[in-house]
Structure formats: structure tokens, C-alpha cells
Structure 1
Amino acid sequence: MTTSVCGERVVLVPYRSTHVDKYHCWMQSPHLRDLTASEPLTLEEEYQMQVSWREDDDKCTFIVLDRKVFTETDSETEAMIGDTNIFLVDTEDRTRGEGEIMIAEEAFRGQGRGWEAMLLMFRYGVENLSLTHYQVKIGLINQPSIRMFTKMGFRETGRSEAFQEVTMEVEVDHRWRSWLVENTHTYTCLTHNYTD
């Protein structure tokens, strides 16, 4: 991926090897692993995972940067606050995506950056990957995320007591797409020549 997406307060950039060390530090937190249903990885495994995220055609991931910090420092690593992903969930139907968002830096939570990053990612998926249906799977303990996706128009379609998670979905119909565009009015896609 050679594309970045700029919004009002966040910038989404491809997950590159330069981001792995900081990302790995985030994932040492048991709380973040619980919220994201992630397994602990070694640093070497994290580097291998980064390559997978970059090369697999059923995944799309961006690192979330705080735009103000990035503007002030010109350093993606210093500006990193989280990540956002889309998985293509059906190999037969490549119009269905599963979204994820993680704001790892506590100082940037609860300020709308996760909301903006997720909407930018959804718009990217609609306009660049031709997605027409989204789902999210959220741990039942993660009430802030459940509330956020409810406000985005997602509705609960399933619940797993075994995995302690809820599945929520939204169709990208004309109404929802218009709402998405209205709520990402500063959306800009840029192309870059990244070396890794």
C-alpha cells in the first residue's frame, strides 16, 4: 500500500517496519490485548506480522497518527497513536469487510480520534476496495466501542457468550454512504513512494 489518508485530526499511513517497535511496546499491555482479542507476540513475530499485513490481499491496515503531533515533529513514530484495519471476511464475496480500531495511547482516547480514524478507514474501503457491507466484532467489556459503532449506524446481529463478543453490522446503502461522506469532509487520499 502506498496510500495515506488525511483527516482533520488524524492521518492514516501504511503499517511499515519503522512502526513495529512502538506497536510491539503497545501490545505488551494485557489490557490492550484483551480489548483487541490479541495474542502476545515476540518482536520477531511482530515484524513477520507486519509483512503479512502489508502483503496479504485480504487485509488492509493503517497506523493512526495524530495530525498535530505529526505536523510538529514530521515523525510518524512520534505521532503514532493507534491502528485501524479492514479484513475481507468472505473469499467468495470481496465486498464484505470487518473493521477494527485501536487507540493505544491513553492521552488520545475519548477525544474523537478513534471515531474519525474509523470513518476515514470505512470511506477508504468503500471508495478504494468497493466494500458494500461492514461488520465489527467487539468484546462485551468494550462498551465505549459498542456505543461508538451504534452511533455510526451499526446494529447488533450476533452475540457469542463463548468469545464474550458482540457482532454488529451495517450495509453501505446510499443513505449510509452519504452520512459517511458528510462525516469525513476533510478526507484526502495521497499516494507516496514508501520503500518498505
Structure 2
Amino acid sequence: MPLVILWEDLYIMKINGKTQLVGDKVILVPYKKSHVAKYHKWMQSPRLQELTASEPLTEEEEYDMQKSWYEDDNKCTFIILDKGCFEETGSEEQSMIGDTNLYLNEDEGKSVAEGEIMIAEMAFAGKKRGWEAMLLMFRYGVECLGIVKYQVKIGMSNTPSICMFKKMNFCTVSESQVFKEITMESEVNETWRTWLNENTKHFSIVPHENEDLG
């Protein structure tokens, strides 16, 4: 199922900028300027800084980061909305609960991606929102970006994430004592793709009107 990525297909974030993914309990929308203020507030949390191995930024730096992600051809980012909250309020900002990313790469000419997931709103932790959002992102990567292998890097102390990716049929391929993290991978073979489709029965790709991305 490998897909050759042509030059005109490389503007991943810009394509993603007009796309939303709709699942059962979550909606994934492009990361926009209007999301930055809440995202910046999240990232002041020492807990989230540790889980994401990131340093705190100023709000101005966060806006610059959002713009750079939009312009980077090798990054695909979605903000996770709680679907129920969004249907009730109609507000993306009020419905934001986290984000999910793919970092695109090549391995021996094949398209691979490193995945990330963060549920920032503690009220939604442990309620399968992260599980669904990550699987929606993986399916989008397979069907629209031609991804043939996924990789995740997780802090050794992040037991819930390690357990989640094991349930997604990822296997540990290496451990770094220096960075205190493990690397897990999953090949997009027919068996895994069938499992992915069975676990994303609520999956649709719809247009997203977006005026404030870059």
C-alpha cells in the first residue's frame, strides 16, 4: 500500500488547514491563531511540559510556533475538540481538550510518521478521547498521506501512554536511558489497517472553513 508522495502533495499542513476529522466523541480541527491563547495557557503546566518534553514559551513565541507549524510541510497538527461540548456551544475554543500531531519523514523511500497525542484538559483524561483522536489521526495518515509506518516516543514514566500504544499494537524497538524514553513502532500492514478501520467506525473527513491559520 505504499504511496509515492509527489511535490504537489507535500504541502501537508496547508491541505490539513482546510480539513477536519469527525469521530464519535471528538472532532479534530486545524491549529489556528484563535486556539493559541488557550494552548499557551495549557503549556504553562509543569505536568504537560514534562509529558511533552517541552519548554515554556511566551505567548508571542506560541503564536510564532503556530505560524511555523502551518508553514512546515512535514508537520500535520490538529486541535482535539470534545464533540459533545462543540455541539452544545459551537465554540472551538471552549471545546478544546488537547492536540495531536504527525511528524512526517522518509525511511528507505517510504513515508513514515512520528505520532504525538496530548489531552490537556484533565476532566477528559481517561475517557478514551486521546485513544480516538490518535486513531483518527493514524487513519488520516494512512488514507490521505500514504504513511506506511508509525513511530512514537514516550517518556519511560508515562505508563498510561505506553499501555495505550501497546493496545494499538505498537512494539518497543528501543530504549534511551539518556533521554528516559522508549520508541515504539507499528507497520501499516493489512492486518493493522483492518484493525484500525474496525476501531474507527465513526470516521469522516469534511471541509473546514478556515481564515486564520497562518
Contact in 2 for aligned 1:158/1:167 (Cα 8 Å): yes
Among residues 180, 186, 194, which one is paired with 2:196 in the alignment?
180
Supply the distance in 2 between the matched residues of 1:114 and 1:93 (Cα, whole angstroms).
30
Deviations along 1:64-91, one digit per CA (max 9) or x if unpaired, are 0000000000000000000000001338
SS in 2 for 1:20: helix
Residue 85 in structure 1 maps to residue 133 in structure 2: no
Higher relative contact order (CA 8 A, sep 6+): 2
Supply the distance in 1 between the matched residues of 2:131 and 2:211 (Cα, whole angstroms).
30
- How far residue 52 of structure 1 moved from its aligned partner, in angstroms, is 1.4
TM-score by length of 2: 0.89
Q: Partner of 1:139 in structure 2? A: 155
- How far residue 55 of structure 1 moved from its aligned partner, in angstroms, is 1.7
SS in 2 for 1:153: coil
Q: 1:151 is aligned with what amino acid?
A: K
Q: Partner of 1:59 in structure 2? A: 75
TM-score by length of 1: 0.98
Say which is worse superposed, 130-139 or 82-91, in terms of deviation. Answer: 82-91
Supply the distance in 1 between the matched residues of 2:108 and 2:31 (Cα, whole angstroms).
26
| Identical aligned residues as a percent | 59
Among residues 24, 28, 31, which one is paired with 1:12 in the alignment?
28
Q: 1:147 is aligned with what amino acid?
A: C
Q: 2:151 is aligned with what amino acid?
A: Q
Residue 114 in structure 1 maps to residue 130 in structure 2: yes
Supply the distance in 1 between the matched residues of 2:209 and 2:37 (Cα, whole angstroms).
22
Q: Partner of 1:193 in structure 2? A: 209
Deviations along 1:57-116, one digit per CA (max 9) or x if unpaired, are 100000000000000000000000000000013387461000000000000000100000
Residue 46 in structure 1 maps to residue 46 in structure 2: no
Unmatched runs of 5 consecutive residues or more in structure 2: 1-16
Q: Partner of 2:14 in structure 1? A: none
Supply the distance in 1 between the matched residues of 2:108 and 2:35 (Cα, whole angstroms).
32
Q: Partner of 2:169 in structure 1? A: 153
Contact in 1 for aligned 2:44/2:56 (Cα 8 Å): yes
SS in 2 for 1:90: strand
Supply the distance in 2 between the matched residues of 1:14 and 1:93 (Cα, whole angstroms).
28
Q: 2:43 is aligned with what amino acid?
A: M
Q: How many residues align?
A: 196
Q: 2:179 is aligned with what amino acid?
A: F
Supply the distance in 1 between the matched residues of 2:18 and 2:26 (Cα, whole angstroms).
17
SS in 1 for 2:106: coil
